[in-house]
Amino acid sequence: MTNNRTDILNTIFPEIKPIIGMIHLRPLPGAPLYNPDKQSVGEMVDIAVKEAKMLEKAGVDGLQIENIWDYPYLKGKDISYETVCAMTRAAMKVKEAVDLPIGINCHLNGGEAALAVAVAVEAKWIRIFEFVNAYISHTGLTEGIGGKLARYRSFLKAEDIKFFSDVNVKHGSHFIISDRSVSAQAHDAETEGTDAIIITGFETGKAPTAEKVKTISDSVKCPTIIGSGTTSDNVKGLLTYADAAIVGSYFKKDNNWKNPIDEERTSMFMNKVKELRKEIG
């Protein structure tokens, strides 16, 4: 743990309150929606590179690459070679096309797959939906993988790749651990070694309340990152308490993650973030 809660982010991003844009990879080989007659792997990669360049031009500070179109998702242990290979190809091409740090997220809770990709492409972080504890996700019981993941990172000599871990993550029921407060869950993740904590609303595109963000941020010493629902209207309020944000849906046309990037909308959002940075000094 560093002395300054943002030190870890500062080693990755040059700006304070960094904004991470999403690269939502189209369906990959092996996923039910993959159809090479409609879109080849090469075409999937070309779209990812095009959107990465648009996000960079609009001013975002980093990119997170994920296989969001691969639903219905597999549990981490069932994610296979074809997914890792396709994600690696796409991530490498994106990294070559832009001058931004990148991170990897592999659905669902595929921390080991994500870390393997991250090592291959020299990414800076991975996202983990359930680092500690457990919840009921679309795939069923989804348990914490922090212990296994920490050992895998050590095995790969990849300590420079940071763990960005969700607490009380979206798209699931947390009743199974409802006797533990959100603050306690955040403390669990920090104690077990996550490098940053991600805070989300109930589903994609839905923001957490400012109260929830403040509660978690006040309960940990590591940086906190908004993981869903950040918009031009709420970014100032949310980043008053959080240290960064991952933005996906809002940067898409009509605020729909399935749509293409809206470069003008993204630029306007980033202008608000720049104003906030000036206010902070």
The answer to whether residue 12 scores a pLDDT higher than 50 is yes
> What's the total number of domains in the chain?
1
Determine how many CB atoms are found less than 10 A away from the CB of residue 124: 19
Quick one: pLDDT at residue 188?
A: 96
Quick one: pLDDT at residue 281?
A: 74
Tell me which residue range forms the domain holding 136: 7-280
Q: Is 183 exposed, middle or buried (0-12, 13-18, 19+ CB in 10 A)?
A: middle
For residue 1, being part of any structural domain is answered with no
Could you give the CA distance from residue 204 to residue 233 in angstroms, rounded to a whole number? Answer: 17
For residue 2, being part of any structural domain is answered with no
Quick one: pLDDT at residue 56?
A: 98
Q: Is 4 exposed, middle or buried (0-12, 13-18, 19+ CB in 10 A)?
A: exposed
For residue 202, being part of any structural domain is answered with yes
CATH of the domain at 32: 3.20.20.70
Going by C-alpha positions, the residue among 225, 271, 268, 274 that lies closest to residue 250 is 268
Residue written as token pair 């989300």: 200
- 87 and 67 Cβ atoms separated by less than 8 Å: yes
- 117 and 84 Cβ atoms separated by less than 8 Å: yes
Q: Is the peptide bond before 108 cis (omega within 30 degrees of 0)?
A: yes
Residues of the chain with pLDDT > 70: what percent? Answer: 98
Which DSSP string do the residues of 246-273 spell out, in sequence order? EE-GGGBGGG-TTSPB-HHHHHHHHHHH
For residue 30, being part of any structural domain is answered with yes
The answer to whether residue 146 scores a pLDDT higher than 80 is yes
The answer to whether residue 220 scores a pLDDT higher than 80 is yes
Confidence of residue 264 (pLDDT cuts 50, 70, 90): very high
The answer to whether residue 169 scores a pLDDT higher than 50 is yes
The residues, ordered by sequence, that sit 6+ positions from 210 with a Cβ below 8 Å of its Cβ are 234, 237, 238, 240, 241
The answer to whether residue 258 scores a pLDDT higher than 60 is yes
For residue 156, being part of any structural domain is answered with yes
Average predicted confidence (pLDDT) for the chain: 95
- According to DSSP, residue 130 is labeled -
- According to DSSP, residue 73 is labeled P
Confidence of residue 149 (pLDDT cuts 50, 70, 90): very high
Average pLDDT over residues 158-164: 98
Average pLDDT over residues 15-30: 98
Confidence of residue 1 (pLDDT cuts 50, 70, 90): very low
The answer to whether residue 123 scores a pLDDT higher than 50 is yes
For residue 194, being part of any structural domain is answered with yes
Average pLDDT over residues 199-214: 84
For residue 235, being part of any structural domain is answered with yes
